[in-house]
């Protein structure tokens, strides 16, 4: 069983459902998908006032929600799987506390969806796809209380970990078509500037794949 937590924001609820559909359609293993929706997270109060979405800090609750045992995957909702998620799951490394794509880039624009600010900072987008080794001792610090009080820079840069505890995933597992351009070898697409459900991002690079997946998510067979 692959445990998957997907960021959920009611302002773009369709993004979650399209992402989940792309996972289910392509996975060769059973998946357990949990939406990270703030109204579902009893015991956690979002105290941060920055951030562009409602799951910007709740993603760090994954180890806690897994009772600090086993493995889980977190991904943002503005994503689409183009490959079997079992391939990503197979990249787990028990010697690491987390694994993620180690992006190093400068953004093309200073704003993104719904007028949110889009700033450059170290390890930008590292936390958008994370394979969590929930049982790793270093992750036990991630309690709701700790996350509520910690700064964004400390959390998103995995500053509670030694650098050697942060494993690296291939960039194709968190490809940013709106920043890097199209890539037919990408395994996971991430429209970090704005999901194609927003009008101003409807024609973003590779957005046609998102629109097709949305149609498939809405599909139902009819009697002839």
What the block records as the tokens of 85 is 């998620």
Contacts of residue 219, Cβ cutoff 8 Å, sequence gap at least 6: none
Instruction: For CA atoms 77, 151, 159, 137, give the dihedral sign.
Output: negative
The count of domains in the chain is: 1
- Please tell me whether the overall predicted TM-score, pTM, comes out greater than 0.75 for this model: yes
185 inside domain: yes
What pairs with residue 169 in β-bridges?
101
Q: What is the C-alpha separation between 171 and 167, in angstroms, rounded? A: 12
50 inside domain: yes
114 inside domain: yes
Per-residue pLDDT of the chain (224 residues; tens, 9 = 90+): 999 999 999 999 999 999 999 999 999 999 999 999 999 998 898 888 776 778 899 999 999 999 999 999 999 999 999 999 999 999 999 999 999 999 998 888 877 876 677 777 789 999 999 999 999 999 999 999 999 999 989 999 999 999 999 999 999 999 999 999 999 999 999 999 999 999 999 999 999 999 999 999 999 999 98
Q: Interior CA angle at 42 toward 36 and 43, to 5°?
A: 110
At 126, which CATH number? 3.90.550.10
223 inside domain: no
Show the domain range for 70.
2-217
Q: What is the C-alpha separation between 10 and 37, in angstroms, rounded? A: 8
CB-count burial class (<10 Å; 0-12, 13-18, 19+) for 52:
middle
Query: In this structure, how many other beta carbons lie within 10 angstroms of the beta carbon of residue 105?
Result: 11
Residue 51, pLDDT score: 67
């Amino acid at each position: 069983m692959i445990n998957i937590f997907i960021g959920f924001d009611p302002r773009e609820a369709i993004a979650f459902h399209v992402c989940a559909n792309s996972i289910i359609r392509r996975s060769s293993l059973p998946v357990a998908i949990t939406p990270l929706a703030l109204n579902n997270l009893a015991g956690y109060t979002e105290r941060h006032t920055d951030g562009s979405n409602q799951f910007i800090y709740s993603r760090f609750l994954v180890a806690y929600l897994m009772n600090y045992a086993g493995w889980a995957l977190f991904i943002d909702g503005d994503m689409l799987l183009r490959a079997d998620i079992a391939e990503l799951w197979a990249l787990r490394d028990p010697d690491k506390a987390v694994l993620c794509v180690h992006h190093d880039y400068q953004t093309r624009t200073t704003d993104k969806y719904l007028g949110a600010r889009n700033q450059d900072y170290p390890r930008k987008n590292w936390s958008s796809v994370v394979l969590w080794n929930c049982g790793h001792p270093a992750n036990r610090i991630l309690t709701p209380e700790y996350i509520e009080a910690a700064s964004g820079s400390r959390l998103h840069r995995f500053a509670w970990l030694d650098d050697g505890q942060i494993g690296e995933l291939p960039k194709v597992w968190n490809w940013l078509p709106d920043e890097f351009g199209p890539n037919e070898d990408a395994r996971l697409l991430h429209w970090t500037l704005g999901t194609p459900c927003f009008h101003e991002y409807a024609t973003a690079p590779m957005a046609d794949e998102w629109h097709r997946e949305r149609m498939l998510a809405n599909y139902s067979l009819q009697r002839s």
